[in-house]
Amino acid sequence: MKDIDFENQLWQAADKLRGSMDASEYKHIVLGLIFLKYISEAFDKRKRFLEKATQDKNSPYYAPTPQAREAITEDKDSYLSQGIFYIPPEARWSYLQENATSSDIARKLDKAMELIEQENPQLKGVLPKIFVEYTRVRDLEPRILGELINLFSKIQEQKEKDKDLLGRIYEYFIGQFASAEGKRGGEFYTPRCLVKLLIEILEPYENCRVFDPACGSGGMFIQSRKFIEMHKKDPSKINFYGQEKNSTTWRLCQMNLAIRGIIAHVEQGDSYHNDKFPDLRADIVISNPPFNFSDWGADRIQKDPRIKYGLPPNSNANFMWIQHFVYHLAPGGVAGFVMANGALAVGGKEGEIRKRIIRDDLVDVIIACPPKLFYNVSLPVSLWFLTKDKRNKRFRDRRGETLFIDAREMYEPISRKQYVITDKQIQKIADTVRAWRGEKGAGKYKDEPGFCKAVTIEEIRKAGYVLTPGRYVGIKPEEDDGIPFEKKMKKLTKQLEKYFKESRKLERKIKHNLKRLGRQNA
């Protein structure tokens, strides 16, 4: 999980320009400029192709006169037909770079965003038109905007070596802003290692429907597409559906997906009370919903068809989310989501709902995760995988069985405050699940004390319907170092006697010093 040096250097340079400006406001400036840079580059690349093609007599784009050539290179459909946004002259990066030091650069940037939205209806209401406002009332100097434009102009040199660099920079900056903002920023950013682990286990496939009802900045969709590409399948043959309550985060998501060329049906709205996809039954439901959300309006959904297993208390929406996921599953679908550990063992109304879900044989896999995965939030979490059909044709018949994995010790610290699960560790966990599910080529599954155990519903019932993995997997056996017990005891006794001697020596020295101190003060 190494960060690319160039991404990190770029972040440090951009963050220096922030000064005292709050990260939650500054992010809209920075991410808006990176997005503008990205779509402008895509436009320029297509434009260069058209300029060359219009002069080639063998090309279908050939045009005999300069006027005809310009008509083609400035024709909006020449870009939109290839999935590329049309960028008007006054919104192009080259124009903005030429005017980076002008006193009205903020107005030019707002105008650029407006022009792009006018020419590309799918971006309407998405782009940040805040540059003039921020320079007038939020202490953002026009000079900083110019310096940011010049800073991001340097990306082009590196991009020749890495075609996906701008998309990765955008994602990297989203993560860094989440860290800078603390808990509020974490609401729209799920740690990449958790997303990767979810995707590796869910295994998206061509023509599947993927739904995330708390989609944040769209990271689940991006990683799903990457998984499809890595397995040499067509990434365009996957259908994404999402919902996001926060309007700012919804815009962030739309820009993030546009940078990746991902077409998704993402609606803005409150999933609790305004489900935008009531008829959707997805093959894969994947999400990182808000944890332990209180006062969520339980009284407003008492007759809702989603709450099949019981109405959760108004003090905590965790089991509203869980039932929402189950409701949106297709008959053979699988849900994978992040959940606060409290949901594994809580009693009361929530415990009763969990019991009913277990009795219905929906719980497929539960994974306990390491601490400190989220930016500035130490809340321990687990991953839940639910399915309506454990006889799914893709895997073996797993009816009446649940796999528990305790991965709390599988991490690598990247700072004092944050851990990550490494790619190697992700593969070990995912391979264990694949072997248990009986996937072809995954090898034979075997319980491993302290790490994984396949458990029956009857065993879960005897444990009080608690889903805490540590309850079932047991303790990892201590490795035998080959040294006989008697030899170890002799060595330990010798070491202890040495410490006793040192202690007595130190005690005599302290007493001696105290006596001397007493005589000096007499």
Instruction: Round to whole Å and give the CA distance between 359 and 507.
Output: 64
What is the C-alpha R_g of the chain?
29
Q: Are 387 and 283 in contact (CB under 8 A)?
A: no
pTM value? 0.83
Q: Are 128 and 113 in contact (CB under 8 A)?
A: yes
Q: Are 8 and 227 in contact (CB under 8 A)?
A: no
Per-residue model confidence (pLDDT) at position 489 = 80
CA distances from 210 to 223, 319, 363, 427, 475 (A): 12, 21, 19, 22, 36
Per-residue model confidence (pLDDT) at position 88 = 96
Per-residue model confidence (pLDDT) at position 159 = 52
Helix boundaries (H) for 380-484? 423-437, 457-462, 469-473
Per-residue model confidence (pLDDT) at position 168 = 79
DSSP 3-state assignment of 111?
helix
Averages of pLDDT over each 10 residues, the chain, 522 residues: 67 88 89 92 94 94 94 93 92 96 95 96 92 87 93 71 70 82 60 94 96 94 94 93 93 90 93 97 96 94 95 97 98 96 97 98 98 78 96 89 97 87 97 96 96 98 98 81 72 81 85 76 58
Per-residue model confidence (pLDDT) at position 2 = 44
Per-residue model confidence (pLDDT) at position 375 = 67
Q: Give the bridge partners for 176, in sequence order.
A: none
Nearest to 289, CA basis, from 167, 160, 381: 381
SS3 per residue for 233-276: CCCCCCEEEEEECCHHHHHHHHHHHHHHCCCEEEEECCCCCCCC
Per-residue model confidence (pLDDT) at position 1 = 38
Per-residue model confidence (pLDDT) at position 480 = 58
Instruction: Round to whole Å and give the CA distance between 85 and 116.
Output: 8
Q: Are 283 and 333 in contact (CB under 8 A)?
A: yes
Per-residue model confidence (pLDDT) at position 83 = 84
Q: Are 402 and 366 in contact (CB under 8 A)?
A: yes
**37: Cα separation from own chain's centroid:** 23
Q: What are phi and psi of 304, to 5 degrees?
A: -75, 135
Instruction: Round to whole Å and give the CA distance between 263 and 46.
Output: 20
Per-residue model confidence (pLDDT) at position 377 = 66
Please state whether beta strands 381-387 and 329-340 pair in parallel, antiparallel, or not at all (unpaired): antiparallel
Q: What are phi and psi of 255, to 5 degrees?
A: -70, -40
